[in-house]
Chain A
Amino acid sequence: MSMDPEFIAVLQTAFKEEANEHLQNISVNLLSIDKDPESTAESVEKLLRVFHSLKGSSRAVNLVKVEKCCQIIESILIKHKQSRISDTTMAILNTARIMFQRTVDELGQEGFKEDLDDLLNALKELEGENTVTTPFTTEAPRNEAPEEDSAEMRAPRARTSGAGSIRLPVEQLENYVKLSEELVYAKLASEQRISELSEIQSVLNQWSRRWQRLRPEVENITQSDIGGNGSNGGNSRRLTDLREFVDMHDSFVAKMLETLNSIEKSVVADERTIHNLVDSLLDRGRELTLVPFEIMNNLLSRIVWDIGKQQNKQVELDIQGADVQIDRNILDELKDPIIHLIRNCIDHGIETAEERAACGKSATATVFISLEPVGSGKVKIEVRDDGRGIDVGKVKKSALEKRLIRKELLDNFSEEQILSLLFRSSFSTRDEVSAISGRGLGLTIVKENVERLNGTVTISSVPGQETKFTIMVPVRRATMVGITARIGNQTMVVPTIAINSAVRLQDQDVRMLQGKWTLNYNDRLLPIIRLADILQIESKLSLEESIALIVGTSDYPIALTVEEVSGEQEVAVKNLPAPLTRVRNIAGATQLKTGDLAVVINMKDVLTSPYLVGTLTGESPLDSRPLSRTTSDREERSKKRILVVEDSITARVLLKNILESAGYEVMVAADGSDGFDKYRQTEFDLVVTDVEMPRVNGFELTTKIRHESERPDVPIIVVTSLASLEDRKRGVEVGANAYFVKSNFEKSNLLDMVERLI
């Protein structure tokens, strides 16, 4: 085959689209034969047409075996136009559908092979069998009243095009919406142009006012000289030129200002137009991505049918409110959770036919799905079965056996709370694990998926009557409110919902406990963790520059520090693009008002990150032990008073804490000048000072103490980041007793030095 590969690719894409449609049709018709044998003739007629079309298009893309299979199926079906189709035949037709689907999906992939020999053989055999038996002998048994639902199942599909509508691929629509979202920048840009224009205007106005003040002066000069003697003819001519220019210049500038004004007016008007147009375009674009829930009807019916078959249970599906519109992407994400809940209902909830008969229930069980918009952009989706319900006692017993919860706690649980345990991972009340559900992970995943959509899922049950799952999700793509925070040199979005409050770190509230920073917040000591450390971003953030976001549960709050918080805004969070399937601590990305992209923090990940957990559990910062050092030590040292002079809060608090925890009384000063004042007012046994400080630096302070104070002999320790020999020399020259370099700052080392000097 030497067809142009590009052409083949185009052909295959078209084929896939068409074939998927055929397969969907096949699925629907097989289903209605199974549900309603009455309709067999009609369905077979449809199936014949579909298989025929599939045969034709398969040939075009060289799927010889699919073509052959379709041909045999056609000949089998023709014989069944008037007769009932046997279960074996139905099973093979269903297998054929599944195999075809796989073939269609895999077409075009590397190493693709039409793996249909088994199917072909089975079909050939079936065809042979059927020629032996008389096809018209078995008349369809006319049993059971026609089922009301079957009409709904065969209802025309949503995509059928009416007179005033067209069909177009979803990607095209989504691309269009995405493109219109890009217009937001045009909108922002035009806002920017307005502010630039007004800036020019104000500059010009300033200039103009100044010129108006000077103008009479200039006029005076030019006038007076003209009226003066003519002896200075050359000069006078130049002044006349100047006066003319000034006049011309005035009208010129006035015209400029006028033009500028009118430009500004039209730009403002344009901006308003663009603003309104873009906003309504965006709104309508978002509407376009809404689809009715009913596009899932066929799929869900199929699932119910399949699982019912496997479990040997007769199950009906009843969908109410399928016309409710939901964003495509959300519906997509809901598909798996809903399918799982259906599986769960059939597997766990619905009894066997015998059991149902014993309870006086109808043999056919029903899974109900109902949708109802509940306002504020949310929809309530209920998945309910009329089965045996959930045995709360059994859940309790299982929870205790699996040690999910302590008995004392469980005894106080409401029924609802007990049922919610079912969403915990590794939970299944089913005695045996079935192939479908009951592996204990399913409901956890349902919950996770729904929560990812900012939704909730709850469970309730009436024993002996029903089990009901209630999902609440937003109808539209989630927009979220987040604060923009600077971490390192990046701006990131932290979901506001995850933040209890934000506080600027204050000197007196920050404390070092057992080598860990803590924040005194509302009389509780919270561990301080830098978000930059968790994200492994370089940040030169020091505590005094930072803002703490109070996050975590109320039982265990944490102060997460960032460098800056610059406001709150509504953002639409997008998933990270492939191949970034999942990135730790990052929930997605979004476009900020400025047009820049920013990543959105996944607070759940952050709060469970190994770094944070390690830091917190390595040594519990909430432990109060470090404060209760041996009391004798403290008393003995309580008389010793130390002055800490340091401009950085971080270092100041650090030093203060180290010295206080060793039992010294500590006073702090923010720079050398402040330090010298304090030194003169109070008697100190030792001074610890930084070198680089505003106003009076550490060397100057040392000099002052040595030469200008009443107690010049106090021991002075100079602490600094400067480690050069020159600095060391300078320190000694001005009279420091010891020199300490911040980079090799160790608690014991400093305390040793202090003890030696006092």
Chain B
Amino acid sequence: MTDEHGKETVQQEILKRKLDEYLRRGILRRRAVQLARPLEKPAIPPGKQYVLFEIAKQRFAFDIRYTDEVFQLKSILPVPETPPYIVGIISLRGALTTVIDLRHLFNLQENSVLGSDKAIIAKRGDFQIALITDDVLGLEFIADDDIQPASIILSNIPRQYVAGITSDATIIINGESLLSIDALEVNQ
């Protein structure tokens, strides 16, 4: 499963890069209309690719649009006097990145021990954080139809972070609200 989807993302990536390059070279500037309109027509499959991961025995899905990579954590530097959801900071190829523990943010069992050293690098615009996980399960396509609005079962997870839940109880994280400085900012 992972292989096939991996291939798909690679293809998407290539396509994206090509597009990017075209845009930079101004080709699209000249042909913006021609290029933009036709793409409206083909039916886009009603769903998205998600990264699936597990924290405190709960499965979560995170829109791959907001994920950069899965990163093997080596050591995390704790920063004194920060709230419990801030685990510390790491150097991601030179870019300092804050590691977030969703268990504290989502009010999951905090006493559970982290099962892995894998973190998902989540990114939106310039804002980048590492989400520490118990396990990264891989990529999965989830159809929009399969996502139901969050119900009362999720009462301990702050509502703004939840975009929905699938029939097999995977919680879809609302990437936009999680990846906002306002939600996580430490400004003392």
Contacts and interface: CB of A to CB of B under 8 A. Distances in A.
Interface in A157-182: 175, 178-179, 181-182
Contacts of B126: 578
B116 to A, nearest CB: 21
Given A178-B93, A582-B186, A3 B40 contact: yes
B23 to A, nearest CB: 4
A181 B79 contact: no
A585 B65 contact: no
Given A10-B16, A10-B19, A14-B24, A585 B81 contact: yes
Contacts of A57: 29, 32
14 contacts: A1-B40, A11-B32, A535-B80, A535-B81, A577-B128, A581-B181, A582-B186, A583-B188, A585-B81, A589-B79, A589-B89, A596-B77, A597-B75, A599-B77
Interface size range of chain B in the complex: 35 or more
Interface stretch (B95-103, B136-144, B154-162): B95-103
Contacts of B86: 580
Contacts of B78: 490
Contacts of A3: 36, 39-40
Interface in A573-600: 574-586, 589, 591, 596-599
B33 A536 contact: no
A577 B32 contact: no
A556 interface: no
B97 A577 contact: yes
Contacts of A490: 77-78, 80
Given A14-B23, A178-B95, A599 B28 contact: no
B184 A56 contact: no
Nearest to B90: A597
B8 interface: no
Given A581-B181, A583-B80, 12 more contacts: A2-B40, A2-B44, A4-B44, A6-B12, A18-B29, A179-B94, A575-B96, A576-B79, A578-B185, A579-B129, A599-B77, A599-B80
B127 A578 contact: yes
Contacts of B181: 578-579, 581
A654 B76 CA distance: 38
B39 A6 contact: no
A207 interface: no
A25 to B, nearest CB: 15
B82 interface: yes
B187 interface: yes
Interface residues of A, number: 45
A11 B28 contact: yes
B110 interface: no
Interface of B: 12, 16, 19-20, 23-24, 28-29, 32-33, 36, 39-40, 44, 65, 75, 77-82, 86, 89-91, 93-98, 126-129, 176, 181, 183-188
Contacts of A535: 80-81
Given A1-B40, A580-B98, A583-B188, A179 B93 contact: yes
Contacts of A13: 23
A110 interface: yes
Contacts of B176: 110
Interface string A597-614: 111000000000000000
A60 B26 CA distance: 13
A177 B121 CA distance: 21
A10 B15 CA distance: 11
Going nearest first, the 8 A-B pairs with the smallest beta carbon separation are: A60-B32, A178-B94, A14-B23, A579-B184, A597-B77, A577-B96, A581-B187, A535-B80
A356 to B, nearest CB: 44
A615 to B, nearest CB: 17
Contacts of B97: 577
Contact of B188 (A10, A575, A582): A582
Given A536-B81, A579-B186, A586-B79, A60 B24 contact: no
Contacts of B186: 579-583
A580 B100 CA distance: 11
A402 interface: no
A710 B69 CA distance: 78
Contact of A578 (B19, B77, B98): B98
B79 A583 contact: yes
Given A535-B81, A580-B79, A581-B186, A59 B32 contact: yes
B83 to A, nearest CB: 10
